[in-house]
Structure 1
Amino acid sequence: MTTILDKILDAKKGQIQELLMNSIPEQTESSFRPSLFESLYQSERLQVISEIKRASPSKGLIAEGVKPAEQAIQYAEAGAACISVLTDTPFFQGTFDDLAEVARTVSIPILCKDFIIHPIQIDYAKHAGASVVLLIVAALEQEKLSTLYKYAISKGLEVLVEVHDSAELNRALQLDAKLIGVNNRDLRNFDVDLSRTAEIAAIFPFEEKRVLISESGIWNPNDATKVSSYGASGVLVGESLMRSGDVGNAIRSLQVKREVIIS
């Protein structure tokens, strides 16, 4: 049975061929951005990675006319720890231009949110101004995952490694990943369940100076408090912020005092 993730990855191969046909200008300098890991580790309040998200396969159009720079300013002013920018076009209507626009506008960490399966995507993310890239364990064989992880690190980028279950967590730990996100959304069918964070947190090696981020399905302070109690030090939030009429208040309402502080 073909899953949504399968369809996305098939389409991604075509996008990569287009990227390979274009040359990326050499960067003469890159803006300094704080470390996302350091901003999350031992934080007293739950930190928010705020996402710029135009659409999704499960919800269709979310914010078709969003202006990335304006949205990024609202996020940064509200105290977001990082801004995630979707750069997948076929399914999420994002672009590397969106990422570059955000990078020119704010100085906080910026995550390139995409289905990365080739080093050229990391090159484009870096050139557009990202300081963090996402690698999804479910999308990659271990050898390719390791190769891309090392490549991103060699480019001076932080890497958020996304997992869905215990087997994928073990694969992330083999990389010695410090930023690990648990996606509460099953990428095979896009169902959401916050208990995924609880399941991963129960076996997560917090004592090894790593941080756990809960991704997807966070809508309100109750959700934030729940994943914080499991041990998450950050949440990645997109749709609820994009639909919010008051971004600042929405972000601040999620910055709950952490119930579990990593020692």
Structure 2
Amino acid sequence: MLADLVAGALEDAERRRADRPLAEVEAAALARPAALDALAALAPADRVKIIAEVKRASPSRGSLAAIPDPAGLAASYQTGGASAISVLTEERRFHGSLADLEAVRDAVSIPVLRKEFVAEPYQVFEARAAGADLVLLIVAALEQKQLVELHGLITQLGMTPLVEAHSADELSRALETGASLVGVNARDLTTFELDRDLFGRLADRIPSGVIRVAESAVKSADDVAHYRAAGADVVLVGEALVTSDPVATLGEFLGV
């Protein structure tokens, strides 16, 4: 599944490149105002922080929510207390787009994450050109050389990489990049199976000074509390918010 998602994302990036060459996207990226400081926004605090996600669909669950107004949803997340917004930009299985990201960036004043299967520099420049402050890097999708190079490019452009792992080995690879923001995804992206306890098994391996993000398997405030008790500084939540009253649910999660 992960290999198919990455291949599709690269094909879609190649199609966009035909209309908008790298030099044009790079110029647009460099012309953007400086990215927001995501590490400051997500720094450990007395309460858990939430990255709230704009997510229409997923390969495991299919359609989740139409979200005709991603900017409005993101604005409600910000009002509700989210520390950052994640925007799915993958088109085929998640029904997202860079236009969603641009609309969200214009609507909020907190950091915005491009959540995509990033595997080449063009996608990183696209992210900055669209206004992203953070870019997701999935360890399982990348060779180590790619991972290090993309991490470096994201940082060079003033953005923050969120480096995502799903095993102890992947976590070691994430930390080798010098990542300051590391996510542990309960969902195995090769099988899409969930393991809510994975974060707890890996959290102690993440050094102090690195912000710890728990991802996936969040349906209720109890799940957020479970991650917080295991040491999560931040929890990324998508499906539970878009399939409910987002502001009320966010309030419950932030009350943990």
**TM-score for the superposition, normalised by structure 2:** 0.94
In the alignment, which residue of structure 1 is the partner of 2:251? 252
Query: Are the equivalent residues in 2 in contact too, given 1:87–1:114 (CA < 8 A)?
Result: yes
Number of the residue aligned with 1:243: 243
2:114 maps to amino acid: C
Letter in 2 for 1:112: R
| Structure 2 residue matching 1:135: 3-state secondary structure | strand
Query: In structure 2, what is the equivalent of residue 73 of structure 1?
Result: 75
Q: In the alignment, what sits opposite 1:168?
A: 170
Work out whether residues 41 and 233 of structure 1, in 8 Å CA contact, stay in contact via their aligned partners in 2.
Answer: yes
Which deviations, in whole Å up to 9, do the C-alpha atoms of 1:14-70 show, x marking residues without a partner? 112113221335337534564222222231110010000011111111112431111
What residue is the counterpart of 1:36 in the other structure? Answer: 38
1:148 corresponds, among 147, 150, 157, to 150
1:6 aligns with 2:8: no
Measured in 2, the distance between the counterparts of 1:189 and 1:196 equals 15
- What SS does the aligned partner of 1:156 have? coil
Q: 1:33 to 1:155 in 2, by over 3 A?
A: closer
**Structure 1 residue aligned with 2:223:** 223
Map of 1:137 onto structure 2: 139
One of 49, 58, 61 as aligned partner of 1:59:
61
Contact 1:99/1:129 (<8 A) preserved: yes
Report how far residue 80 of structure 1 moved. 0.5
- Residue 19 of structure 1 aligns with which residue? 16
| Percent of matched pairs sharing the same residue | 35
C-alpha distance in 1, partners of 2:99/2:131?
10
Cα offset, 1:89, TM superposition: 0.3
Could you say what secondary structure the match of 2:9 adopts?
Answer: helix
Aligned length: 251
Aligned residue type for 2:66: E
Q: Which runs of 5+ in 1 are unaligned?
A: 258-263
Q: Look up the match of 1:117.
A: 119
Partner Cα separation in structure 1 for residue 221 and residue 92 of structure 2: 32
Deviations 1:175-234 (A, max 9, x none): 11000000011101111121111111132212xx11110001112111111100111010
DSSP 3-state at the match of 2:50? strand
SS at match of 2:232: coil
Letter paired with 1:221: A
- Of residues 160-169 and 62-71 in structure 1, the stretch that sits farther from structure 2 once superposed is 62-71
Let me know the Cα RMSD of the aligned residues: 1.4
Q: Does the aligned pair in 1 maintain the 2:35–2:159 contact within 8 Å? A: no
Provide the rounded CA distance (Å) in 1 between the counterparts of 2:240 and 2:69.
17
Is residue 212–residue 234 contact of structure 1 (8 Å, CA) maintained in 2?
yes
CA distance in 2, matches of 1:170, 1:176: 10
Aligned to 1:99: 101
CA contact (8 A) 1:54 1:93 kept: yes
Name structure 2 gaps, 5 residues minimum: none
Q: Which residue in the other structure is 1:261 paired with?
A: none
More helix by share: 2
Distance in 1, matches of 2:247 and 2:223, equals 17
Give the whole-Å Cα distance in 2 for the aligned partners of 1:54 and 1:89: 10
> SS at 1:202's partner residue?
helix
Letter in 2 for 1:113: K
